[in-house]
Amino acid sequence: MAPHGFSVPAAVIPVLLVLSACWRSDGLTSDPFPAHYPTFTRNDTLFEHIALHPDPAVGRVYVGARDRLFQLDRHLVAELQDNTGPVTDSRECLPPVTEANCPQARPTSNHNKLLLVDPFSMELITCGSINQGICQKRSLDSVDKVLFSAERPVDTQYVAANHPNVSTVGLVVRSRPDRQPVLFVGRGYTSSHPPISTRNLAQEPVFSYEETAKLAVAGRLSEYDHHFVASFAHQHHIYFLFYRRDLKSQSREYRTYVSRVCLDDQAYYSYVEVPLACLSAAGKSYNLLQAVRLGSPPRGGSESEAGQAKVLLGVFSTRQASSTRPSEDSALCMFKLDDLDQLINSTRDLCYTQYGRAEGGGEAAYIEYEVKSNCAYLPLNTLEAYPCGSDHTPSPMASRVAVEAEPILDSPSARLTAVAVSVRVGHTIAFLGDSKGNLRKVFLGPNGEVEEYSVVSIQANAAISSDLVLDQSEDHLFIMTPTMLQKRPVAECYQHLDCQECLSAHDPYCGWCVLEGRCGLQSQCSRGDQEGQWLWSFDMEQQCLNVLSLSPSNTSREEHRHVSLSVPRLPGLKQGETYSCFFGDSESPASVTEAGVLCLSPEFPRVPAVLPGQGEFK
Amino acid sequence: MSPLTVLGVFCGLFLPLSLSEYNTHNCIPRKSVLYQDNMKLFREEGIWNYSTMLVREDLGLLILGAREAIYALDIKDISIKKSVVNWPVTDEKLKECTSKGKHAESECRNFIRALHKMDHNTMYVCGTNAFSPTCVNVTYSEGHLTRGDRLEEGKGKCPFDPIQRYSSVMVGNELYSATSNNFLGSEPVVLRSGPSSLRTVFKSSWLNEPNFVYMDLVPESDNNPEGDDDKVYLFFSENAVEYDFYNKLLVSRVGRVCKGDVGGQRTLQGKWTSFLKARLDCSLPEPSLPSIVQDVFLLKDSDWTKSVFYAVFTPQSSLSDVSTVCAYNVSTIGQLFDTGKFKTPVTVETSYVKWVMYSGEVPTPRPGACINNAARALEMTRSLDLPDKTLQFISDHPLMDEAVPPLTGRPLLVKKGAMFTCLVVDNVLALDGERHAVLFIGTENGFVQKAVNYAGEMFIIEEIQLYRTPEPIKTMRLSSSTGQLYAGSDYGAVQMPLCDCGRYESCLDCVLARDPYCGWDLSSGVCSAVVNSTKFVQSLKNGDISQCPKSDTLKPENHTLVPGNNIKLPCQPDSNLAQVHWLFSGQPLLSGTKHYIYNGGLLILNASTNDAGPYTCESVEQVNSRTHTRTMAVYELQPQTNKAEEGTETMTTYSHSTPLPHDPSVLEPPLPPAPRSDEHRVVGLQVSVAVLSVMLVGLVAWNVYKGQFRSKSSETSGAGQLKGPSVDVQRSKTSEIKPLTPTSSHNANNNHSAFISFKGNGEHPFSGCNTLHVDGFGYINDESEI
C-alpha cells in the first residue's frame, strides 16, 4: 500500500479551501496567550458576588466584595472601585446609627449580600450586611455613583441578612411589560423579617415590602432557620430554593425545599413549597442544597434546544452530625422542572379541592408556617378560576411529598459549592466548583450518561463561589474564589491544533471542523451541523479523516496519470465546490468518487515523495 | 329498665369524684324562674342572628343588629319596633361569596357585627357583607333609621366570618377592633382605624390564633400622678406559647394598648409600641387545664383604679362543665404591665423554643409603657421618639411572665351545668348604703344567672329562663337607667327587668332572697324595689329575718287515710337552697321503705292506720350558718271511716286546696278498670318502687355531679307544656330529683300539680301537663348518650 513513488516532504494532500470566509471565533481564538485568562485578584478583600452588565456588547462585570464594589471591563480590568466599608455599625442597632442611639457600634465590615442588575431601569442594586441590610441603587456605568439610598430607612426596607454568613438571594422581575419591576428577595434567618418578600422599586418607600407582599409566617422564624440558595423566574412564576428545618419531623432536620409563587400574586396566595430530596440508592440523604442552577437552552437557541426540558441541577451536601456546617460529602442531583411544577400544581389542587388529601386518603398537602388555615374542599372550578389563588384559598401551602432524585455524581471529599449549566443540543454540560478550588466539567447525556470529563484547578484550596456564571452567549465562565475572579472560555478547542489532538481532548464542546481544518465548537464550524463536517471530540468512536490507500500505490515520476485516494467519511460538497489534490506544491483538481477522490498526478519533476499514511487533510 | 340501671352505676361511679370536687352549695340558684309568656321578645320572621346590640339611652332606643337588618327598638319595651333599616348583600356579592365555597344562607349574608355610638344620632355599623366586611353610618332621626351612602372597607374592623368571635370599641371617633384581617381568618389583628392607624405585628408571639372576646377603654389619664395615658384593654384566648404541652393549649389573656400610641419611627412603624399581654388566671382549686375567657364586663368606677373587669370562663376540656367567674382589678393588671417581669423565648435543642422569665436588663423607657412623665422627662413625647431598643424589645417580648391573679385570689363563682356565655354587671346601691356588683350571666341554654358577692361568698339569687327553647345567649346589654337587661340570641332579642321583687311573696322569702334591688316594704306588706323613703327590710349579708313581721301559724289540712293506698302530701319550698323536713307527730321522718321524701313533698307508701296523725312540712334554709325554719304545710291524716270502694285508686294525692274538678294533680292513672288489688299489682308496684329508687339515686348522683341539669328536651317540653299564664312557675334544675317532680307552683293558692309515675317507662298517655316522667326519661336518655 505504501505509495513509494512520491517524495518525502510533500504529501499528497487533497485539501480544499473553497470557502473564503474566515471562520475565526472571537472567544476561542482571539487570546494569543491561552494560558493567561482574564483574571482579577485582590488580597485586601473577599469576593462575594458577581453580576454581569445586561448588554453583552458592554461585557462589564461587577463584583461585590467585603467593603468593596468593583466595576471591571470585559477583560476583568478594574474600571472603578467603591469602598463600602468598614462602617461604624452594630447588628443590634437600626440605621442611621449614631453614637447616641448605639454606643456599642464598632467599625464593621460591610459584606456584599446582594448584587443584582435591574435590567428594566438599567441600575445596579447592592445590599450590604451593615445597616440592617438596606440596599442602594447604583449606576451601571459608574458603580460608585449611588442613585438611591434611604436616608431614614424603616424596618420594612431592610432587605438583606445583616450577618456575613447568612445568605440572601434576589431577582428583579416584572410580571408583565406594563407592570413595574419588583425585587423578589429570599433572606436567611437572622431576626424576624419575612423570609420571602416582594420589594417595590418604584415608589417610596423604595425596597419596602409594606405595600407589596411578603410570606407571612405565624410560627417562629428562628425555629425554621431558613438558608436561601437561589431564586429564579420561569414563565409566570418565581422560584426560591432554600433549606430550613423541617418542624413537622421528629428530628427537625434541615431539608431542602423549592417554593413557587405566581409573579403577579400580590399576596402570595399561590405560595407552594415542596421538599427537594437528593437521596442515594443506599439511602444517604444529601439534604443541604449548596448551589443550584436552572438549565435552560440558551436564548435564541435553535428549535431543538428550546424543546429540551428544563432541568434543575443542584449540588447538595450533608450535614455533619455534630455541627451546623455542611460536610465535604456532597453530590450532584438533577431534577426536571416539569416534575417540580407538576408536584406543586397537584399540591395546590389537592389543597384547594380535596382537603389536601391524596387519593389514598393520606395528607399530601397542608398549610405551613403555623398559619391558622387548612386545606379546603372548594369547588373544582376553583383551580381554573384561581390558578394563582385568591383571598379565600388556603395558603401558604406545602407538600408532604418530596421531589426525589438520585445523585448523578458524588464528591465525597471535596464539597461541591457551585454549579453552572449549559444546555446544548442533545446534552447538558454542568460546571461544578468545589471547596478545594477545582472547576469540574460534567457531561450529561440524553440517556443518563454522566461523565466528568475535566477537572481544572483554579486556585488551590479556595472554595469556588456559588456565583459561577456563564456569560450571555455561554461562551465564557466566570469563576470566583474569595480572592480571585477568572474568566475562562467554556472550552478551549482552539488549543488543539490537529484533528487527532482535537479528538483526544474528549471535550463535548469541541470537534474537528473538517472543511476548515480547525478544532472548535460545532456552532463555529460552518457546516458543523452536517454529517461528517464536524467530528465531535466527545465521541469515542470518532476518527479523523485520513487517506486509507492510494491507487496505484506506486507510480513512476515520469508518469502523469490518475491517482485514486481512498478517504472514508469524506464530507460531501455543495454544488460548484471541489476538492483539490496537492502533490507538494502542485495542485490538481480532485473529483469525488465513492471511496474518496481521484486526482491526476503532477508532472515530473514536481512530484514529491510520499510516505505511507502521511496523507493529510488540512 | 336496663338503661336506668346502667345510669345508676354510671352516676354511682362519679359520685365520689363529684362530691370531692366541689362544694356545690353556692352554685345553686336560690330560685329558678322558668320561661314566662309575657317575656318581652323581639324577633321578625325570617330574620336570625340577633347578636349585636347598642343601648342608646339618649335616644330611648335599643339598636339591634341582626342578619341583614338593623332595628331601632323602644328601650322600655323592645317588642315595639320603631324603625328598621335593611342591609342585604348584593346578588353579585352573594355569588362571589358562594363561588368561594361559603354557604349562601349561613355565611354569605350580611351579618351585623358592630354597632357603635357616634355623634348625636349616628351609629357606626359594620356587617360581614358576604365575607367582605363593610361599614356604614346609620342615623336615627324623626323615628327613622337611615343607612348612609358611603360604604367603608370593613376589613380589620369586622370579621369576615359571621361566627367568628371578635371585639371592637369606639374611642372618640377612632375604632379599635380585634378580629381577623383576611378571608381565611388566618391573620389576626388588633387595629385602630382612622388617620393614625395602628395594628399588631403578625407573629405568633403577639397573637397566636386568638379568639377575641372583649375590649374597653379605661381612662387612666384621669388624675394620674404618673401622667399616664388612657388604655384600651383587650381580652382574648389564644394558643399558649409558655407551656410545654403535647397539644395546642389555650390560655386566656388580657392585653392592652395605649390610646396615644402612634407607632415607632424606624421599627414598629404603623404598629403598636404598647401592646402587652398577660395570662389571666382563673384557676380552680384542683388541677385542670386553663379555663377560657368567654366574655368580660368592665364595671366602671368614677375612680378608674377601682374599676373591675368581670370575666366568665368555661373549661377548655369538653370533659368538664364547670363555668367560672373571675374579677380583676384594673390597677392590678396595670401594675403587672408596669412593673412585672417579661417572658422571653429561649432556643433549646434542635431549635425548640421555650418561654422563660426574662432576667436581663430591660431597656429604658420601659417597653410597652405609654408615654408618661418618665418618658417625657427623657424628652420623648410620642411613641415615635421611643428608642429602637425599647421597641425591639417589645416587638419580641409582648408577654408578661406572671399571670394576672383574680381579685379574691380565686374564682368568684364556680358553677357546673350549662356553660356561661356572657355577662353584664350592675352596680346596685343597697339599703345599707353599700354598693354591690350584681352579675347577670347568660348561659348556653338561654338562662340568666343573677348572682351577687357578699363578703367573698357568691350567691345566685335566681336563674331566669329567657327563651322558651334552649338558646345560647350571644350578647347581653344593660340599661341601668331603665333597669332592663337585653339579651340576644340567634332566635331573637329578649328584655328582662333587672329585678322582679314581686316574685317574693313573703317577707322571709324576700329577705332570704338577698336581692340588693329588693326589700320587704313593711308599710305595704309586699316585696318591692328598695327606695330610701319608705321602711324596708333588707339583710343582704346575713339574711336576717328578725325584722320581718311574725307570720300566722298554719292551720292543718285534714285528709282521709285510705289503708293500702299510697298517699302524697305536697310541699314545695320557696327556695332551691332550702331543705324540706317532715315531722310526723313531732318526730322527724326519714326516707325509707315507708316514707319517701322528695322535692315535691312526702310519699307515704301503702298507708295503714298507723300512719294517721299530724304531718308538718318545714323548709329549712341556711344563711351564713344561721338556720331559718319555716313551716310550709301542715296535714292531719285521719283514718278512713268507711271501707274503700272497689277499684280504689292506687294513690291518693292531697293538695293544700280543694282540687278542681279536672285537677290533674289528683292522680287517676288510666290503669285497667277494677284492678282489684291482686298480686300482680303489688309486684308491679314493688318493681316500680325499685325502679324509682334506682332512678332517683342515679339522678341525685348525676345532679350533684352536673350541678345543673342540661337536658334540652326536658326543659323544652316541660316549659312548653305549662298551661295558661302560670306565673312564677318554679322549677329548679339543680336540686335533687327535680326532673321527676312536675312543675309546681310555690304559691299556696295555686294548684299543686304533683305527680309521680310508678311505671317509669312513660307508657301511659297522661293527659294534661303531667308528662314529666317522659321528660325525665328523655333526660336520662340524653345524658346516658354522653
Please give, one letter per residue, the 3-state secondary structure of B579-645.
Answer: EEEEEECCEECCCCCCEEEECCEEEECCCCHHHCEEEEEEEEEEECCEEEEEEEEEEEEEECCCCCC
- 3-class SS at A305? helix
Residue among B183, B186, B352 whose CB faces A371 most closely: B186
Q: Which candidate from A223, A377, A391 shows the least CB-CB separation from B353?
A: A223
Interface mutation target, options A92, A366, A372, A390, chain B, most CBs of B under 10 Å? A372
Report the gap between the CA of A254 and the closest CA in chain B (Å).
10
Q: How far B338 CA sits from the closest chain A CA (Å)?
A: 24
Rounded mean pLDDT of A493-501? 89
Residue B74, classed as helix, strand or coil, is: strand
A133 at the B interface (CB within 8 A)?
no
Q: Is B351 on the interface with A (CB under 8 A)?
A: yes
What's the sign of the alpha-carbon dihedral B507, B511, B513, B519?
Answer: positive
The residue of chain A nearest to residue B263, with distances taken between CA atoms, is A154
A194-198, B133-137, B351-355, B711-715: the lowest-pLDDT one: B711-715
Indicate the pLDDT class of residue B285, thresholds 50, 70 and 90.
confident
Average pLDDT of the segment spanning A36-62: 95
User: pLDDT by residue (tens digit) across A59-84?
Assistant: 999 999 999 999 999 999 999 999 99
Would the pLDDT of B378 be above 90? yes
Residues 6+ apart with CB under 8 A from A349: A383
In which element (H, E) is residue B705 found?
A: helix B679-706
What's the CATH fold of domain A1-34+498-618? Immunoglobulin-like (2.60.40)
* pLDDT at position B656: 43
pLDDT at B168 over 90: yes
pLDDT confidence of residue B744: 35
In this complex, which of B101, B183, B266 lies closest to A154 when CB atoms are compared? Answer: B266
What integer is the mean pLDDT of B463-470? Answer: 95
Residue B294's closest CA among B401, B167, B191?
B167
pLDDT of residue B690: 52
A140 CB neighbour count, 10 Å cutoff: 22
What pLDDT is recorded for position A306? Answer: 52
Cell triple for A157: 426596607
B457: helix, coil or strand? strand
Structural domains of chain B, ranges and CATH numbers in brackets: 2-22+552-719+726-784 (2.60.40.10), 26-46+158-497 (2.130.10.10), 502-537 (3.30.1680.10)
Q: Which among A152, A222, A395 has CB closest to B353? A: A222
Residue of B nearest to A152 (CA): B266
Confidence tier at B516 by pLDDT (50, 70, 90) = very high
Write the pLDDT tens digit of every residue in A520-534.
Answer: 988 888 888 888 889
Distance from CA of A394 to the nearest CA of B (A): 7
Residue of B184, B388, B396 lying closest to A392 (CB–CB): B184
Which residues in B lie closer than 8 A to residue A371 (C-beta atoms)?
Answer: 186
Residue in B203, B364, B379 to test binding to A, most A beta-carbons within 10 Å? B203
Taking the C-alpha atoms of residue B635 and residue B656, their distance in angstroms, rounded to an integer, is 9
Terminal CA-to-CA distance of chain B, rounded, Å? 18
Q: For residue B466, is pLDDT > 70?
A: yes
Q: What pLDDT, on a 0 to 100 scale, did the predictor assign at position B380? A: 95
Taking the Cβ of residue B361 and every Cβ of chain A, the question of whether any pair is shorter than 8 Å is answered with: no
Q: What is the pLDDT of residues A530-560, one digit of tens each?
A: 888 899 988 888 888 888 887 777 766 666 7
Nearest chain B alpha carbon to A377: B101
pLDDT bracket for residue A22 (50, 70, 90): very low
Task: Name the least confident of A58-67, A136-145, B635-644, B763-772.
Answer: B763-772
What's residue B156's pLDDT? 96
Of B233 and A218, more confident: B233
Pick B100's closest partner by Cβ from A153, A220, A392. Answer: A392
pLDDT in the model for residue A456: 93
Question: Which has the minimum average pLDDT: A468-472, B402-406, B727-731?
Answer: B727-731
Tell me whether A372 touches chain B (CB under 8 Å). yes
In this model, does residue B82 exceed pLDDT 50?
A: yes
Report the first-to-last Cα separation within chain A, whole angstroms: 22
Tell whether the torsion through CA atoms of B134, B260, B165 and B396 is positive or negative.
positive
Q: How confident is the model at residue B339 (pLDDT cuts 50, 70, 90)?
A: very high
Contacts of A216 in chain B (CB under 8 A): 187, 202
Interface touch A216/B187, C-beta < 8 Å: yes
- Of the listed ranges A178-182, A291-295, A430-434, A491-495, the least confidently predicted one is A491-495
When scoring A222, A227, A391, A395 by the number of chain B Cβ atoms within 10 A, the one with the most, hence best to mutate, is: A391
Residue numbers in B near A153 (CB within 8 A):
266
pLDDT band at B624 (very low <50, low <70, confident <90, very high): confident
Residue B479 at interface with chain A, using a CB cutoff of 8 Å: no
Cβ–Cβ pairs < 8 A, chains A and B: 86
Which of A294-303, A399-408, A475-484, B631-640 is the least confident region?
Answer: A294-303
B268, closest residue in chain A (CA to CA): A155
User: How many angstroms away from the CA of A155 is the closest CA of chain B?
Assistant: 5
Nearest CA in chain A to B160: A392
Chain B CB contacts of A392 under 8 Å are 100-102, 131, 183-184
Q: Of the ranges A112-126, B413-427, B647-661, B762-776, which one carries the lowest mean pLDDT score?
A: B762-776
pLDDT confidence of residue B702: 53
Give me the pLDDT at residue B9, please.
27
Within 88-107 of B, beta carbons closer than 8 Å to A belong to 99-102
Comparing A9 with B296, the larger pLDDT belongs to B296
> Chain B neighbours among A 71-110 (CB < 8 Å)?
92-95, 101
pLDDT at A257: 98
Say whether pLDDT at B686 is over 70: no
**Residue B156 in contact with residue B177, Cβ under 8 Å?**
yes
**Cβ–Cβ contact A392 with B under 8 A:** yes
What's residue B195's pLDDT?
A: 86
Greater model confidence, B403 or B622:
B403
B185 contacts chain A (CB < 8 A): yes
ipTM computed for the complex: 0.85
- The answer to whether B269 contacts A390, with C-beta atoms less than 8 Å apart, is no
C-alpha to C-alpha distances, B292 to A590, B244, B702, nearest whole angstrom: 101, 18, 25
Min Cα–Cα distance to chain A from B407, Å:
34
Smallest CA–CA distance, residue A413 to chain B, in Å, is: 27
**Cβ-contact B470, B446 below 8 angstroms:** yes
Check CB contact of A217 with chain B, cutoff 8 Å: yes
- Residue B19 three-state SS: helix
- What are the extents of the domains in chain A? 1-34+498-618
Asked if B203 and A217 come within 8 Å (Cβ–Cβ), the reply is yes
Alpha carbons B139 and B146: distance in angstroms, whole number:
5
Mean pLDDT of B459-485: 94
- Residue B456's pLDDT band (boundaries 50, 70, 90)? confident
Nearest beta carbon to residue B204 from set A101, A220, A376: A220
Taking the C-alpha atoms of residue A148 and residue A166, their distance in angstroms, rounded to an integer, is 24
For residue B102, which residues of chain A lie inside 8 Å, CB to CB?
392
Residue A86: is the preceding peptide bond cis (ω within 30°)? yes
Give the nearest partner residue to B183 out of A94, A251, A391, using CB atoms: A391
Nearest residue in chain A measured CA to CA from B353: A223
Pairing between strand B343-347 and B353-357?
antiparallel
